[in-house]
């Protein structure tokens, strides 16, 4: 389990394999000794298992494998050396739950329709960004105003919903410490719907 609070930005260093299985080497600032083999790390919202790791001068690299289903349903099949990823270590008992409960199981892809900069005030802290996204059917029915959604591994609050379109806001700090500072209209991002919304819909369906 995760919380959707990004703790580092990783960079793809190497990609091996084909359409059925790929091994990805990711560089990051984590301490290699703190990562156990078999540990789960959310990579832009995808829960992947660490199969190797080693220290580097500025942190470490770790390797994960993405199987055919993951490559088909997510952006992992398009990751290349230099691709930057939002990273989050798995939640431990006693950790602060800063976002919301996230499984790391991507439900689909949402497309950014518009990015709008909200002018900064006199503080000089930078501009907040409003993103308008399109959710695929039938996932859009799980997205509600003021509810939670996970996009590229980032826990965000939904501001507005209209049909299959919804919007989120990212403050300057979030834009700096995640890959959202790079995101533009036309980009596809990993979408994981809220766990509680998923079960509430299932209960309503079977009632």
Catalytic residues: 2, 40, 47, 49, 67, 105, 157
- Provide long-range contacts, Cβ within 8 A and 24+ apart, for 118-123: 118/169, 120/172
Cα 33 from Cα 84, distance rounded (Å): 22
Q: Judging by beta carbons within 10 Å of its beta carbon (0-12, 13-18, 19+), is residue 113 exposed, middle or buried?
A: middle
Query: Does the N-terminal peptide bond of residue 138 adopt cis geometry, omega within 30 degrees of 0?
Result: yes
Beta pairing class for 128-134 and 46-56: unpaired
Beta pairing class for 128-134 and 21-28: unpaired
Q: What are phi and psi of 94, to 5 degrees?
A: 95, -10
């Amino acid at each position: 389990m995760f919380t959707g609070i990004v703790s580092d930005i990783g960079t793809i260093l190497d990609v091996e394999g084909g359409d059925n299985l790929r091994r990805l080497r990711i560089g990051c600032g984590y301490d290699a000794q703190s990562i156990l083999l078999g540990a789960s790390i959310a990579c832009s919202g995808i829960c992947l298992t660490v199969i190797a790791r080693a220290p580097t001068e500025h942190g470490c690299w770790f390797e994960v494998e993405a199987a055919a289903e993951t490559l088909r349903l997510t952006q992992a099949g398009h990751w290349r050396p230099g691709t930057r990823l939002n990273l989050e270590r798995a939640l431990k008992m006693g950790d602060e739950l800063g976002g919301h409960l996230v499984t790391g199981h991507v439900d689909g892809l949402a497309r950014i329709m518009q990015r709008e900069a909200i002018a900064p005030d006199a503080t000089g802290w930078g501009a907040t960004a409003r993103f308008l996204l399109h959710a695929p059917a039938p996932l859009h029915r799980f997205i509600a105003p003021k509810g939670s959604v996970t996009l590229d591994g980032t826990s965000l609050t939904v501001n507005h919903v209209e049909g299959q379109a919804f919007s989120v806001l990212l403050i300057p700090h979030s834009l700096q410490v995640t890959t959202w500072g790079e995101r533009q209209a036309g980009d596809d991002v990993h979408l994981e719907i809220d766990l509680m919304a998923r079960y509430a819909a299932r209960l309503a369906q079977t009632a």
